[in-house]
Chains A and B, each alone.
Chain A
Amino acid sequence: MSQFSVLQGTRLRLVAPDAAPAAEHFSRWAHNLTYARLIDTDPARIWSVDTVKKWFEDEEKSGGAPTSVIWLMQKLEDEQIIGFIGLDGIRWEHGDTWVGIGIGEESLWGQGYGSEAMQLAVQYAFTVLNLQRVTLCVFEYNPRAIRSYEKVGFVIEGRERGVILRSGKRYDLVYMGILRAEWQQRQTQTQPAAR
Chain B
Amino acid sequence: MLHFENFFESTDLHLTAIRPDADAPIESRWTHEPRYLWALGGNFIFPQPPSRLKKFYEQLEKDMDEKRLVHFMLRQRTDDSLLGFARLEWLELQHGKALLRLAIGDPEQRGRGYGAQAIHLILRYAFDELNLYRVGLSLPNDDTRAIRFVERAGFQLEVRQRAALYLNGQHVDNLRYGLLAQEYLARNPRPAMEIPQ
- A interface residues (Cβ-Cβ under 8 A, vs B): 41-43, 67, 93-96, 132-133, 135, 155, 157-165, 170, 175, 177, 179
Query: How distant is the Cα of A96 from the Cα of B43 in the complex, in angstroms?
Result: 14
Interface: B96 (CB within 8 A): yes
Given A43-B94, A160-B176, A163-B95, A133 contacting B163 (CB threshold 8 A)? yes
Are B134 and A161 interface neighbours, CB within 8 A? yes
Instruction: Identify 5 new A-B residue pairs, CB closer than 8 A, beyond the known A94-B165, A132-B163, A177-B162.
Output: A43-B94, A94-B166, A163-B95, A175-B159, A175-B176
Query: How distant is the Cα of A43 from the Cα of B95 in the complex, in angstroms?
Result: 10
Are B158 and A160 interface neighbours, CB within 8 A? yes
B158: contacting residue among A133, A161, A164, CB under 8 A: A161
List B97-123 residues whose CB lies under 8 Å from chain A: 97
Are B161 and A175 interface neighbours, CB within 8 A? yes
Q: For residue A95, which residues in chain B have a CB less than 8 angstroms away from its CB?
A: 166
Are B133 and A157 interface neighbours, CB within 8 A? no
Q: Mask for B16-34, Cβ within 8 A of A = 1, else 0?
A: 0000000000000000000
Identify whether the interface residues of B are mostly helix, strand, loop, or mixed: strand
4 tightest Cβ-Cβ pairs between the two chains A and B = A158-B159, A175-B159, A94-B166, A165-B95
Identify whether the interface residues of A are mostly helix, strand, loop, or mixed: strand
Are B163 and A165 interface neighbours, CB within 8 A? no
Query: How distant is the Cα of A157 from the Cα of B175 in the complex, in angstroms?
Result: 10
Q: Classify chain B's interface size.
A: 20 to 34
Are B94 and A158 interface neighbours, CB within 8 A? no
Query: How distant is the Cα of A161 from the Cα of B133 in the complex, in angstroms?
Result: 10
Query: How distant is the Cα of A111 from the Cα of B17 in the complex, in angstroms?
Result: 52
- B interface residues (Cβ-Cβ under 8 A, vs A): 43, 45, 92, 94-97, 133-134, 136, 157-166, 171, 176, 178, 180
Are B96 and A96 interface neighbours, CB within 8 A? no
Residue of A with least CB distance to B175: A158
Q: Which of A95, A132, A155, A163 has the most CB of B within 10 A?
A: A163
Residue of B with least CB distance to A166: B95
Are A164 and B95 interface neighbours, CB within 8 A? yes
22 contacts between A and B (CB under 8 A): A41-B92, A43-B94, A93-B45, A94-B166, A95-B166, A96-B164, A133-B162, A135-B161, A158-B158, A158-B160, A160-B158, A160-B178, A161-B158, A161-B178, A161-B180, A165-B94, A165-B95, A170-B133, A175-B161, A177-B161, A177-B164, A179-B163
Are B164 and A94 interface neighbours, CB within 8 A? yes
Are B159 and A41 interface neighbours, CB within 8 A? no
Query: How distant is the Cα of A67 from the Cα of B44 in the complex, in angstroms?
Result: 13
Residue of B with least CB distance to A181: B163
Query: How distant is the Cα of A160 from the Cα of B176 in the complex, in angstroms?
Result: 8
Query: How distant is the Cα of A86 from the Cα of B165 in the complex, in angstroms?
Result: 21
Are B162 and A162 interface neighbours, CB within 8 A? no
